[in-house]
Amino acid sequence: MKNGVLIVTIVAALAMVIMLVGGYPAPETAQAKGILQIMVTDAPPEEEVTSIMVTVESVEVHKAAAEQEEEQSDTNSTNEEAGWLPLGILAGNETFDLLQIQGIEEVLAVTELEPGKYTQIRMTISNVQVKLGDGNLTDVILPSGKLKFVRPFDIVENQTTALLFDFDAEKSVNVAGSGQIMFKPVVKLSTTTPQMIEPGTKHVKISTPSLPNGALNVSYNATLTADGGAAPYIWSIDKGTLPAGLDLDSGTGIISGVPTAGGDFTFTAKVSDNSTPIKSDSQRYTITIADNEGLVISTVDLADGVEGIAYNFTVVALGGTPPYTWSIAKGNLPDGLAIDTASGVISGIPTKKGNYNFTLQVSDNSTTVSTATERLSIRIAQD
Q: What is the rounded distance in angstroms from the CA atom of residue 92 to the CA atom of residue 89?
A: 9
**pLDDT value, residue 200:** 56
Over the chain (383 residues), what is each successive 10-residue block's mean pLDDT? 32 37 53 54 62 89 70 47 77 81 74 88 91 83 87 86 86 81 88 70 81 94 90 94 96 96 94 83 92 88 93 95 95 95 97 90 93 92 80
Closest CA to 255 of 300, 212, 290, 294: 212
Q: What is the rounded distance in angstroms from the CA atom of residue 279 to the CA atom of residue 158?
A: 26
**pLDDT value, residue 21:** 42
Q: How far is CA 54 from CA 88, 101, 108, 126, 319, in A?
A: 17, 11, 12, 8, 37
**pLDDT value, residue 236:** 96
Q: What is the rounded distance in angstroms from the CA atom of residue 298 to the CA atom of residue 374?
A: 9
Q: What is the rounded distance in angstroms from the CA atom of residue 291 to the CA atom of residue 222?
A: 19
**pLDDT value, residue 160:** 82
CB 161 within 8 A of CB 154: yes
* β pairing state of 226-227 and 234-240: unpaired
Which residues share a beta bridge with 73?
A: none
Q: How far is CA 274 from CA 107, 197, 201, 279, 280, in A?
A: 19, 18, 14, 8, 9
Cα Rg of the chain, angstroms: 29
DSSP per-residue string spanning 219-280: -EEEE--EESS-SSPEEEEEEE-PPTTEEE-TTT-EEEE---S-EEEEEEEEEE-SSSS--E
Provide the CA 320 distance to its chain's centre, in angstroms. Answer: 34
DSSP per-residue string spanning 309-341: S-EEEE--EEESSSSPEEEEEEE-PPTTEEE-T
**pLDDT value, residue 336:** 96
**pLDDT value, residue 70:** 53
Q: What is the rounded distance in angstroms from the CA atom of residue 258 to the CA atom of residue 214?
A: 9
**pTM attached to this predicted model:** 0.54
**pLDDT value, residue 362:** 97
CB 268 within 8 A of CB 236: no
